[in-house]
Structure 1
Amino acid sequence: MESNYIKIYSGNAIIGKRIELELLELGISPICKDEGESARLAGFASSMLGNIELHVNQDEKEKALAVVAKLTAKP
């Protein structure tokens, strides 16, 4: 199955949620995958706690990657 979505971020959930909020302010609706939370809700243990993935439509890739770069840049 082919998808029009691309992964733009994988890592810390706190930073990921901040990126998600910035994207929403720009009118980009990301898909947030949280394997740890999904496992918890299903009653399973997970070693992926605190990590998420963000995916956006390929048409919005450039704007989304600019947000990720801005928020993950080392000072």
Structure 2
Amino acid sequence: MKDSNYVKIYTGELIIVQRMVAELEKIDIIPVLKDQTDSGLLPIFGTSNSLFKQVYIHKDELEKATDVINTFKSELQE
């Protein structure tokens, strides 16, 4: 999403991303999710990274989301 109005705030496993999305939605931020799947490699390796997602939010919402993002990331490091 180069040169867009969105900024990537997290990349990780689907279950964690779903929790982050729920926390962002509590403060009226609707994130955009991008799948990490590289389907061109699927026939070679036989697996997919579809369990990994990238979370983007609009640049205008970044300041509003900062507390949620920081709290969430600090919990993951514990």
TM-score (norm 1): 0.74
Q: How many residues align?
A: 71
Q: Looking at both structures, which has the greater relative contact order when contacts are Cα pairs under 8 Å and sequence separation is at least 6?
A: 1
Instruction: List structure 1 runs of 4+ shifted beyond 6 angstroms.
Output: none
* Identity fraction in percent: 33
Uncovered stretches (5+) of structure 1, i.e. residues with no partner: none
Partner deviation per Cα, 1:19-69 (whole Å, 9 max, x = no partner)? 101111111110011234x95xxxx75531321001001011123232122
Q: Which stretch of structure 1 is more off in the superposition, 58-67 or 16-25?
A: 58-67
Q: What CA RMSD, in Å, does the superposition of the two structures yield over aligned residues?
A: 2.4
Paired position in structure 2 for 1:71: 72
Find the structure with the greater CA-based Rg: 2
